[in-house]
Amino acid sequence: MFRNGLEPWHLVILILVIVVVFGSKKLPDMARSLGKSARILKSEAKAMKDDGKQSAAPAPSAEEPAPAQRTIQAAPGDVTSSRPVNEPTDTTQR
């Protein structure tokens, strides 16, 4: 049934349909937003991994200062989409 399912002319037709449906002016914006979303997802996943490692560490004592507020950025050097993250302070040990 799908012996010759994906030939080069199939890809050409697919690209033409995408350009016709979305328009050539919208495609760069869509690609840019897709890349930005991927960077945000990657930074959030990294932050979650780092949080897991920090929770396994011993709890800070009362004399140590509170950790500084973290800022999550969509991309390195991107300050327009950065947002501060308030870390909950839990003084009880589980």
- Residue 67 CB contacts under 8 Å (≥ 6 apart), including other chains: 60, 87
- Domain contains 49: yes
Q: Compute the half-sphere exposure of residue 69: CA atoms within 13 Å on the CB side of its CA.
A: 6
| Secondary element (H or E) of residue 70 | strand 70-72
Question: Mean pLDDT over residues 12-21, rounded?
Answer: 90
pLDDT digits (tens, 9 = 90+) for 27-55: 889 889 999 999 999 999 998 888 777 76
Mean of per-residue pLDDT scores for the chain:
75
How much is the pLDDT for 41?
93
- Domain contains 90: no
- Domain contains 46: yes
What predicted TM-score, i.e. pTM, was given to this entire model?
0.42
pLDDT at position 70 over 80: no
Question: Mean pLDDT over residues 4-20, rounded?
Answer: 85
- Domain contains 2: no
- Residue 85 CB contacts under 8 Å (≥ 6 apart), including other chains: 47, 69, 70, 71, 72
Range of the domain at 45: 24-55
